[in-house]
């Protein structure tokens, strides 16, 4: 029913913002660890594909740092999305 009216409640907006901020913090923490240690591991679907293809799921050196920086940027974007959705949700709807 909410999707039909175009309005979301404050609790819904804050819930979505909290989840987005949590995901962003996890991504940033993981990215910082990747940059510090210069190692990174794949997870999720790509890990399964790599395992099926017989490839290694661990990155080191420059590719690990690039993956870490990408995770940091995506974490910042997730936090930004959460804040914008919570604050400007009614305006954008």
Q: What is the pLDDT of residues 49-88, one digit of tens each?
A: 878 888 888 888 898 899 999 999 999 999 999 999 888 8
For residues 27 and 75, give the distance between their C-alpha atoms in angstroms, rounded to a whole number: 5
Whether 26 has a pLDDT exceeding 60, the answer reads yes
Q: What mean pLDDT value characterizes the chain?
A: 86
Note the pTM of the prediction, 2 decimals.
0.79
Mean pLDDT over 14-28 rounds to: 95
Three-state secondary structure of the chain: CHHHHCCCCHHHHHHHHHHHHHHHHHHHHHHHHHHHHCEEECCCHHHHHHHHHCCCCEEECHHHHHHHHHHHHHHHHHHHHHHHHHHHHHHHC
Q: Which residues pair with 40 in a beta bridge?
A: 59
**Per-residue confidence (pLDDT) for residue 46, from 0 to 100:** 76
């Amino acid at each position: 029913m909410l999707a039909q009216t175009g309005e979301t409640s404050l609790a819904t907006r804050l819930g979505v913002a909290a989840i987005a901020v949590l995901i962003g913090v996890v991504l940033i923490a993981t990215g910082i660890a990747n940059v510090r240690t210069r190692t990174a591991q794949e997870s999720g679907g790509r890990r399964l594909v790599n395992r099926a293809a017989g490839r290694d799921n661990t990155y080191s050196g420059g590719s690990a740092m690039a993956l870490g920086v990408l995770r940091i940027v995506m974490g910042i974007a997730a936090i930004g999305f959460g804040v914008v959705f919570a604050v400007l949700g009614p305006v954008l709807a």
